[in-house]
Structure 1
Protein backbone atom coordinates (compact mmCIF):
# COMPACT_ATOMS: atom_id res chain seq x y z
CA UNK A 1 0.00 0.00 0.00
CA UNK A 2 2.90 2.35 0.73
CA UNK A 3 4.20 1.59 -2.72
CA UNK A 4 0.93 2.80 -4.24
CA UNK A 5 1.07 6.04 -2.27
CA UNK A 6 4.55 6.76 -3.46
CA UNK A 7 3.43 6.13 -7.04
CA UNK A 8 0.54 8.57 -6.66
CA UNK A 9 2.74 11.38 -5.41
CA UNK A 10 3.68 13.81 -8.13
CA UNK A 11 6.45 16.33 -7.98
CA UNK A 12 5.28 19.87 -7.16
CA UNK A 13 6.01 22.27 -9.98
CA UNK A 14 7.57 25.56 -9.12
CA UNK A 15 5.34 28.66 -9.70
CA UNK A 16 6.08 30.59 -12.83
CA UNK A 17 8.03 33.75 -12.17
CA UNK A 18 6.53 37.00 -13.54
CA UNK A 19 8.81 39.06 -15.68
CA UNK A 20 9.73 42.40 -14.07
CA UNK A 21 9.34 44.08 -17.46
CA UNK A 22 5.73 42.96 -17.77
CA UNK A 23 4.93 44.29 -14.28
CA UNK A 24 6.45 47.64 -15.08
CA UNK A 25 4.52 47.93 -18.35
CA UNK A 26 1.24 47.07 -16.64
CA UNK A 27 1.82 49.66 -13.91
CA UNK A 28 2.66 52.31 -16.48
CA UNK A 29 -0.44 51.55 -18.54
CA UNK A 30 -2.66 51.77 -15.45
CA UNK A 31 -1.05 55.04 -14.36
CA UNK A 32 -1.45 56.55 -17.83
CA UNK A 33 -5.10 55.53 -17.90
CA UNK A 34 -5.74 57.19 -14.54
CA UNK A 35 -3.95 60.36 -15.65
CA UNK A 36 -5.92 60.45 -18.90
CA UNK A 37 -9.23 60.09 -17.06
CA UNK A 38 -8.24 62.78 -14.58
CA UNK A 39 -7.24 65.16 -17.36
CA UNK A 40 -10.48 64.44 -19.22
CA UNK A 41 -12.47 65.25 -16.09
CA UNK A 42 -10.68 68.59 -15.64
CA UNK A 43 -11.21 69.49 -19.30
CA UNK A 44 -14.91 68.62 -19.10
CA UNK A 45 -15.32 70.74 -15.98
CA UNK A 46 -13.61 73.75 -17.55
CA UNK A 47 -15.67 73.34 -20.71
CA UNK A 48 -18.90 73.21 -18.74
CA UNK A 49 -17.91 76.39 -16.86
CA UNK A 50 -17.19 78.18 -20.12
CA UNK A 51 -20.61 77.46 -21.61
CA UNK A 52 -24.00 78.53 -20.25
CA UNK A 53 -26.19 75.89 -18.74
CA UNK A 54 -28.93 74.42 -20.91
CA UNK A 55 -31.98 76.66 -21.15
CA UNK A 56 -30.17 79.82 -20.01
CA UNK A 57 -29.50 82.86 -22.17
CA UNK A 58 -26.15 84.56 -22.36
CA UNK A 59 -26.03 88.14 -21.22
CA UNK A 60 -23.44 90.75 -22.10
CA UNK A 61 -22.21 93.54 -19.89
CA UNK A 62 -25.00 95.75 -18.56
CA UNK A 63 -25.87 98.50 -21.00
CA UNK A 64 -25.02 101.99 -19.84
CA UNK A 65 -27.97 104.25 -19.23
CA UNK A 66 -28.43 106.79 -22.02
CA UNK A 67 -28.89 110.26 -20.69
CA UNK A 68 -31.44 112.32 -22.47
CA UNK A 69 -30.16 115.47 -23.88
CA UNK A 70 -31.34 118.47 -21.95
CA UNK A 71 -34.37 119.92 -23.75
CA UNK A 72 -35.17 123.58 -24.21
CA UNK A 73 -38.37 125.34 -23.16
CA UNK A 74 -41.63 124.10 -24.61
CA UNK A 75 -43.85 126.41 -26.68
CA UNK A 76 -45.82 128.67 -24.37
CA UNK A 77 -43.43 128.10 -21.46
CA UNK A 78 -42.12 131.15 -19.62
CA UNK A 79 -38.49 132.08 -20.29
CA UNK A 80 -36.28 134.65 -18.59
CA UNK A 81 -33.58 137.06 -19.59
CA UNK A 82 -32.16 139.50 -17.08
CA UNK A 83 -34.97 141.29 -15.24
CA UNK A 84 -37.81 140.15 -17.51
CA UNK A 85 -39.86 136.98 -17.79
CA UNK A 86 -41.50 136.34 -21.18
CA UNK A 87 -44.36 134.07 -22.22
CA UNK A 88 -45.32 133.70 -25.90
CA UNK A 89 -49.07 133.11 -26.14
CA UNK A 90 -49.90 133.23 -29.86
CA UNK A 91 -48.52 133.74 -33.38
CA UNK A 92 -50.51 134.79 -36.43
CA UNK A 93 -48.76 134.98 -39.82
CA UNK A 94 -51.88 135.40 -41.93
CA UNK A 95 -51.88 139.19 -42.37
CA UNK A 96 -50.26 141.45 -44.95
CA UNK A 97 -51.47 144.67 -43.31
CA UNK A 98 -51.92 145.83 -39.72
CA UNK A 99 -53.68 148.87 -38.33
CA UNK A 100 -56.88 150.77 -38.99
CA UNK A 101 -58.43 151.53 -42.35
CA UNK A 102 -56.74 154.92 -42.81
CA UNK A 103 -53.76 154.26 -40.58
CA UNK A 104 -52.16 150.99 -41.47
CA UNK A 105 -48.89 149.46 -42.55
CA UNK A 106 -48.42 146.99 -45.42
CA UNK A 107 -45.83 144.20 -45.32
CA UNK A 108 -43.27 143.64 -48.03
CA UNK A 109 -43.97 139.92 -47.57
CA UNK A 110 -46.37 139.11 -44.75
CA UNK A 111 -46.63 140.03 -41.11
CA UNK A 112 -46.11 137.56 -38.28
CA UNK A 113 -47.81 139.02 -35.22
CA UNK A 114 -46.58 137.45 -31.99
CA UNK A 115 -48.53 137.99 -28.78
CA UNK A 116 -46.63 137.73 -25.51
CA UNK A 117 -46.63 138.81 -21.90
CA UNK A 118 -43.69 140.46 -20.19
CA UNK A 119 -43.25 140.52 -16.41
CA UNK A 120 -40.69 142.51 -14.48
CA UNK A 121 -38.99 140.08 -12.07
CA UNK A 122 -36.36 142.59 -10.95
CA UNK A 123 -36.31 145.02 -8.06
CA UNK A 124 -36.47 148.22 -10.15
CA UNK A 125 -38.58 149.74 -12.92
CA UNK A 126 -37.52 148.90 -16.47
CA UNK A 127 -38.55 149.53 -20.07
CA UNK A 128 -39.25 146.73 -22.51
CA UNK A 129 -37.62 147.61 -25.86
CA UNK A 130 -39.39 146.02 -28.82
CA UNK A 131 -36.55 146.84 -31.22
CA UNK A 132 -34.23 144.55 -29.22
CA UNK A 133 -36.25 141.44 -30.06
CA UNK A 134 -35.40 139.14 -33.00
CA UNK A 135 -37.27 136.34 -34.74
CA UNK A 136 -35.53 133.45 -36.54
CA UNK A 137 -36.83 131.36 -39.40
CA UNK A 138 -36.41 127.63 -39.89
CA UNK A 139 -33.61 128.44 -42.35
CA UNK A 140 -31.75 130.48 -39.73
CA UNK A 141 -32.63 133.89 -41.21
CA UNK A 142 -33.03 136.68 -38.63
CA UNK A 143 -35.79 139.30 -38.67
CA UNK A 144 -36.00 142.49 -36.60
CA UNK A 145 -39.32 143.63 -35.24
CA UNK A 146 -41.21 146.34 -37.12
CA UNK A 147 -41.80 149.01 -34.46
CA UNK A 148 -44.34 151.01 -36.46
CA UNK A 149 -46.31 147.90 -37.40
CA UNK A 150 -46.17 146.89 -33.74
CA UNK A 151 -47.63 150.26 -32.72
CA UNK A 152 -50.51 149.74 -35.14
CA UNK A 153 -51.03 146.11 -34.06
CA UNK A 154 -51.33 147.18 -30.43
CA UNK A 155 -53.94 149.77 -31.52
CA UNK A 156 -52.39 152.64 -29.59
CA UNK A 157 -52.26 150.75 -26.29
CA UNK A 158 -49.05 151.71 -24.52
CA UNK A 159 -48.24 148.08 -23.76
CA UNK A 160 -44.56 148.31 -24.60
CA UNK A 161 -44.13 152.08 -24.29
CA UNK A 162 -43.82 152.49 -20.53
CA UNK A 163 -41.73 151.34 -17.64
CA UNK A 164 -42.74 148.17 -15.88
CA UNK A 165 -42.61 148.36 -12.10
CA UNK A 166 -41.22 145.39 -10.12
CA UNK A 167 -43.70 142.51 -10.34
CA UNK A 168 -45.79 144.25 -13.01
CA UNK A 169 -46.91 142.25 -16.07
CA UNK A 170 -48.12 143.54 -19.43
CA UNK A 171 -49.37 141.91 -22.64
CA UNK A 172 -48.69 143.15 -26.14
CA UNK A 173 -47.71 142.23 -29.70
CA UNK A 174 -44.49 142.14 -31.67
CA UNK A 175 -44.71 142.30 -35.46
CA UNK A 176 -42.18 140.91 -37.96
CA UNK A 177 -42.23 141.49 -41.70
CA UNK A 178 -41.06 138.18 -43.26
CA UNK A 179 -41.03 136.76 -46.81
CA UNK A 180 -44.24 135.07 -47.90
CA UNK A 181 -42.64 131.62 -47.88
CA UNK A 182 -40.72 132.07 -44.61
CA UNK A 183 -41.62 130.11 -41.48
CA UNK A 184 -40.61 131.43 -38.09
CA UNK A 185 -39.06 128.98 -35.67
CA UNK A 186 -37.91 130.86 -32.56
CA UNK A 187 -38.12 134.25 -30.92
CA UNK A 188 -35.04 135.66 -29.21
CA UNK A 189 -36.07 137.93 -26.34
CA UNK A 190 -33.93 140.46 -24.45
CA UNK A 191 -34.48 142.56 -21.37
CA UNK A 192 -32.20 145.18 -22.98
CA UNK A 193 -30.41 145.61 -26.33
CA UNK A 194 -27.12 144.43 -24.80
CA UNK A 195 -28.35 141.41 -22.85
CA UNK A 196 -27.53 137.80 -23.73
CA UNK A 197 -31.11 136.99 -24.67
CA UNK A 198 -33.20 133.83 -24.39
CA UNK A 199 -34.94 131.86 -27.13
CA UNK A 200 -38.58 130.77 -27.07
CA UNK A 201 -39.87 128.20 -29.61
CA UNK A 202 -42.61 129.24 -32.02
CA UNK A 203 -43.05 126.53 -34.60
CA UNK A 204 -44.72 123.79 -32.51
CA UNK A 205 -48.12 124.33 -30.98
CA UNK A 206 -48.49 127.79 -32.38
CA UNK A 207 -51.81 129.41 -33.08
CA UNK A 208 -52.71 131.24 -36.27
Structure 2
Protein backbone atom coordinates (compact mmCIF):
# COMPACT_ATOMS: atom_id res chain seq x y z
CA UNK A 1 0.00 0.00 0.00
CA UNK A 2 1.62 3.23 -1.03
CA UNK A 3 1.98 6.18 1.32
CA UNK A 4 -0.20 9.11 0.46
CA UNK A 5 1.64 12.25 -0.60
CA UNK A 6 2.28 14.97 1.87
CA UNK A 7 -0.17 17.80 1.66
CA UNK A 8 1.05 20.96 -0.01
CA UNK A 9 2.72 23.12 2.60
CA UNK A 10 2.45 26.89 2.64
CA UNK A 11 5.50 28.70 1.19
CA UNK A 12 6.54 25.67 -0.91
CA UNK A 13 6.27 26.18 -4.72
CA UNK A 14 3.67 24.20 -6.48
CA UNK A 15 4.88 20.86 -7.67
CA UNK A 16 7.77 20.54 -5.13
CA UNK A 17 7.51 18.08 -2.38
CA UNK A 18 8.13 19.04 1.22
CA UNK A 19 11.12 17.35 2.66
CA UNK A 20 10.92 16.91 6.38
CA UNK A 21 13.77 18.28 8.46
CA UNK A 22 15.34 15.94 10.99
CA UNK A 23 17.20 17.10 14.17
CA UNK A 24 20.98 17.94 13.65
CA UNK A 25 23.26 15.43 15.21
CA UNK A 26 26.84 16.88 15.67
CA UNK A 27 29.72 14.72 14.53
CA UNK A 28 31.71 13.32 17.43
CA UNK A 29 35.48 14.20 17.27
CA UNK A 30 37.81 11.35 16.72
CA UNK A 31 40.21 10.78 19.64
CA UNK A 32 43.93 10.22 18.93
CA UNK A 33 45.16 7.01 20.44
CA UNK A 34 47.65 7.49 23.33
CA UNK A 35 51.29 6.41 22.98
CA UNK A 36 52.39 3.51 25.16
CA UNK A 37 54.40 4.68 28.21
CA UNK A 38 57.60 3.05 26.97
CA UNK A 39 57.49 5.26 23.86
CA UNK A 40 57.47 8.52 25.84
CA UNK A 41 60.63 10.69 25.33
CA UNK A 42 61.17 11.29 29.01
CA UNK A 43 61.22 7.55 29.67
CA UNK A 44 64.18 7.22 27.27
CA UNK A 45 66.00 10.19 28.86
CA UNK A 46 65.73 8.68 32.33
CA UNK A 47 66.92 5.34 30.99
CA UNK A 48 70.01 6.89 29.36
CA UNK A 49 70.93 8.74 32.59
CA UNK A 50 70.62 5.57 34.67
CA UNK A 51 72.74 3.64 32.16
CA UNK A 52 75.52 6.27 32.16
CA UNK A 53 75.57 6.33 35.97
CA UNK A 54 75.82 2.55 36.12
CA UNK A 55 78.70 2.45 33.61
CA UNK A 56 80.65 5.18 35.45
CA UNK A 57 80.34 3.29 38.73
CA UNK A 58 81.68 0.14 37.12
CA UNK A 59 84.59 2.05 35.58
CA UNK A 60 85.52 3.87 38.81
CA UNK A 61 85.39 0.86 41.07
CA UNK A 62 88.73 -0.47 39.92
CA UNK A 63 90.52 2.85 40.54
CA UNK A 64 89.19 3.09 44.09
CA UNK A 65 90.44 -0.37 44.88
CA UNK A 66 93.84 0.32 43.34
CA UNK A 67 94.47 3.63 45.15
CA UNK A 68 93.19 2.61 48.58
CA UNK A 69 96.01 2.64 51.11
CA UNK A 70 96.19 2.47 54.89
CA UNK A 71 95.60 5.69 56.79
CA UNK A 72 98.73 7.51 57.82
CA UNK A 73 100.82 6.39 54.84
CA UNK A 74 101.96 8.02 51.64
CA UNK A 75 102.93 6.41 48.34
CA UNK A 76 106.45 6.99 47.06
CA UNK A 77 108.08 5.83 43.82
CA UNK A 78 111.85 5.25 43.87
CA UNK A 79 113.49 3.87 40.71
CA UNK A 80 110.09 2.69 39.50
CA UNK A 81 109.31 0.82 42.76
CA UNK A 82 106.22 2.07 44.57
CA UNK A 83 106.44 1.95 48.35
CA UNK A 84 104.35 3.24 51.21
CA UNK A 85 105.91 5.43 53.89
CA UNK A 86 104.30 6.50 57.17
CA UNK A 87 103.17 10.12 57.45
CA UNK A 88 103.73 12.01 60.69
CA UNK A 89 100.56 12.78 62.56
CA UNK A 90 100.50 16.57 63.20
CA UNK A 91 98.51 16.02 66.40
CA UNK A 92 101.26 13.84 67.88
CA UNK A 93 104.34 15.56 66.35
CA UNK A 94 106.73 17.10 68.80
CA UNK A 95 106.49 20.92 68.94
CA UNK A 96 109.33 22.91 67.42
CA UNK A 97 111.47 24.35 70.18
CA UNK A 98 112.83 27.85 69.71
CA UNK A 99 116.46 28.66 70.33
CA UNK A 100 117.06 29.86 73.88
CA UNK A 101 117.41 33.61 74.35
CA UNK A 102 120.94 34.97 74.64
CA UNK A 103 121.44 37.83 77.09
CA UNK A 104 124.25 39.60 78.90
CA UNK A 105 127.31 37.36 79.03
CA UNK A 106 126.22 35.40 75.96
CA UNK A 107 127.94 35.12 72.58
CA UNK A 108 126.47 35.32 69.08
CA UNK A 109 128.13 34.82 65.69
CA UNK A 110 127.03 36.79 62.63
CA UNK A 111 128.94 35.96 59.46
CA UNK A 112 132.63 36.55 60.19
CA UNK A 113 132.03 38.57 63.37
CA UNK A 114 131.56 37.17 66.87
CA UNK A 115 129.90 39.28 69.57
CA UNK A 116 129.81 38.87 73.33
CA UNK A 117 127.44 41.19 75.24
CA UNK A 118 129.35 42.46 78.28
CA UNK A 119 127.14 45.26 79.64
CA UNK A 120 123.98 47.32 79.02
CA UNK A 121 123.78 50.71 80.80
CA UNK A 122 120.67 52.89 80.31
CA UNK A 123 119.82 56.30 81.83
CA UNK A 124 123.19 58.01 81.24
CA UNK A 125 122.69 61.81 81.39
CA UNK A 126 126.08 63.03 80.12
CA UNK A 127 129.34 61.90 78.53
CA UNK A 128 132.86 63.34 78.73
CA UNK A 129 134.53 65.46 81.41
CA UNK A 130 134.12 68.96 82.86
CA UNK A 131 135.76 70.55 79.84
CA UNK A 132 134.61 68.35 77.01
CA UNK A 133 131.15 66.83 77.41
CA UNK A 134 127.70 66.38 75.89
CA UNK A 135 124.16 65.69 77.07
CA UNK A 136 121.52 63.58 75.30
CA UNK A 137 118.24 64.66 73.78
CA UNK A 138 116.63 61.94 75.87
CA UNK A 139 118.94 59.47 77.59
CA UNK A 140 122.23 57.84 76.66
CA UNK A 141 122.35 54.05 76.59
CA UNK A 142 125.78 52.40 76.46
CA UNK A 143 126.11 48.86 75.10
CA UNK A 144 129.48 47.21 75.69
CA UNK A 145 130.42 44.33 73.39
CA UNK A 146 133.46 42.25 72.67
CA UNK A 147 133.86 42.23 68.90
CA UNK A 148 136.01 39.43 67.46
CA UNK A 149 137.05 38.92 63.85
CA UNK A 150 136.71 35.21 63.02
CA UNK A 151 137.12 35.71 59.26
CA UNK A 152 140.15 35.95 57.01
CA UNK A 153 140.04 39.69 56.27
CA UNK A 154 140.25 42.76 58.48
CA UNK A 155 137.00 44.37 59.61
CA UNK A 156 136.24 47.94 60.73
CA UNK A 157 134.15 48.79 63.79
CA UNK A 158 131.28 51.12 62.85
CA UNK A 159 128.09 52.23 64.58
CA UNK A 160 125.84 50.40 62.11
CA UNK A 161 127.01 47.07 63.51
CA UNK A 162 124.68 47.43 66.53
CA UNK A 163 121.08 48.64 66.99
CA UNK A 164 118.44 48.68 69.74
CA UNK A 165 114.82 47.65 69.25
CA UNK A 166 111.71 48.15 71.37
CA UNK A 167 108.81 45.65 71.66
CA UNK A 168 106.70 47.74 69.26
CA UNK A 169 109.34 47.41 66.54
CA UNK A 170 110.94 50.86 66.97
CA UNK A 171 114.64 50.68 66.09
CA UNK A 172 117.37 53.01 67.42
CA UNK A 173 120.75 53.53 65.76
CA UNK A 174 124.03 54.21 67.51
CA UNK A 175 125.22 57.83 67.75
CA UNK A 176 128.58 58.39 66.05
CA UNK A 177 128.82 61.88 67.60
CA UNK A 178 128.46 60.59 71.17
CA UNK A 179 131.32 58.11 70.56
CA UNK A 180 133.76 61.01 70.43
CA UNK A 181 133.12 61.74 74.17
CA UNK A 182 134.16 58.27 75.33
CA UNK A 183 137.56 57.83 76.97
CA UNK A 184 138.61 55.18 74.43
CA UNK A 185 136.42 55.44 71.38
CA UNK A 186 136.42 52.33 69.13
CA UNK A 187 135.01 54.31 66.19
CA UNK A 188 136.55 53.24 62.85
CA UNK A 189 139.11 50.93 64.46
CA UNK A 190 140.25 47.93 62.42
CA UNK A 191 140.31 44.37 63.75
CA UNK A 192 142.56 41.86 62.02
CA UNK A 193 141.57 38.17 61.67
CA UNK A 194 141.71 36.40 65.05
CA UNK A 195 141.83 39.66 67.05
CA UNK A 196 139.11 41.22 69.21
CA UNK A 197 138.43 44.42 71.17
CA UNK A 198 135.88 45.72 73.65
CA UNK A 199 133.72 48.40 72.05
CA UNK A 200 131.13 50.72 73.61
CA UNK A 201 128.20 51.67 71.40
CA UNK A 202 126.27 54.79 72.49
CA UNK A 203 122.58 55.45 71.76
CA UNK A 204 120.53 58.61 72.35
CA UNK A 205 116.94 57.42 72.86
CA UNK A 206 113.79 58.86 74.55
CA UNK A 207 113.71 58.82 78.34
CA UNK A 208 110.66 56.54 78.45
CA UNK A 209 112.00 54.12 75.81
CA UNK A 210 112.77 50.62 77.07
CA UNK A 211 114.50 48.54 74.39
CA UNK A 212 114.37 44.78 74.84
CA UNK A 213 116.70 43.67 72.03
CA UNK A 214 120.30 44.42 71.09
CA UNK A 215 120.66 43.57 67.39
CA UNK A 216 124.12 42.88 65.96
CA UNK A 217 125.15 42.49 62.31
CA UNK A 218 128.20 42.11 60.08
CA UNK A 219 128.43 45.84 59.44
CA UNK A 220 127.09 48.49 57.11
CA UNK A 221 126.54 46.08 54.19
CA UNK A 222 125.84 43.02 56.36
CA UNK A 223 122.44 41.45 55.75
CA UNK A 224 122.70 38.80 58.49
CA UNK A 225 121.69 39.75 62.02
CA UNK A 226 121.38 38.18 65.47
CA UNK A 227 119.69 39.34 68.67
CA UNK A 228 120.62 39.61 72.32
CA UNK A 229 117.62 39.69 74.67
CA UNK A 230 117.55 42.20 77.52
CA UNK A 231 115.80 41.68 80.85
CA deviation vs aligned residue, 1:81-123 (integer Å, no higher than 9, x gap): 2221011111111212111122112111101111110000001
Q: CA deviation at 1:79?
A: 1.1
* 2:151 equivalent in structure 1: 122
**RMSD (Å) for aligned C-alpha atoms:** 2.0
Distance change (3 Å), C-alpha of 1:160 and 1:73: farther
TM-score, with length taken from structure 2: 0.56
Structure 2, unpaired ranges of 5+: 1-90
Q: CA deviation at 1:77?
A: 1.8
1:86-97 to 2 correspondences below 5 Å? 86-97=115-126
- 1:74 and 1:196 map into 2 onto residues whose CA distance is 20
What is the aligned counterpart of 1:137 among 166, 170, 177? 166
- Per the alignment, in what secondary structure is the counterpart of residue 181 of structure 2? helix
* 2:102 equivalent in structure 1: 74
- Matched-pair contact (CA < 8 Å) for 2:141–2:204: yes
- 1:120 and 1:162 map into 2 onto residues whose CA distance is 12
* 1:13 equivalent in structure 2: none
4+ residue runs of structure 1 moved beyond 4 angstroms?
Answer: none
- Per the alignment, in what secondary structure is the counterpart of residue 107 of structure 1? coil
- 1:172 and 1:126 map into 2 onto residues whose CA distance is 13
- Matched-pair contact (CA < 8 Å) for 2:159–2:173: no
* Bigger Rg, structure 1 or 2: 2
- Per the alignment, in what secondary structure is the counterpart of residue 160 of structure 2? helix
- 1:150 counterpart = 2:174: no
What is the aligned counterpart of 1:175 among 181, 199, 202? 202
* 1:110 equivalent in structure 2: 139
TM-score, with length taken from structure 1: 0.61
> Is the helix fraction higher in 1 or 2?
1
Between the two structures, name the one with larger relative contact order (CA 8 Å, sep ≥ 6).
1
Q: CA deviation at 1:201?
A: 2.2
- 1:163 and 1:192 map into 2 onto residues whose CA distance is 12
1:1-208 to 2 correspondences below 5 Å? 64=92, 66-75=94-103, 76-153=105-182, 155=183, 157-204=184-231
- 1:91 and 1:129 map into 2 onto residues whose CA distance is 18
Q: How many residue pairs are counted as aligned between the two chains?
A: 141
Structure 1, unpaired ranges of 5+: 1-62
- Matched-pair contact (CA < 8 Å) for 2:179–2:185: no
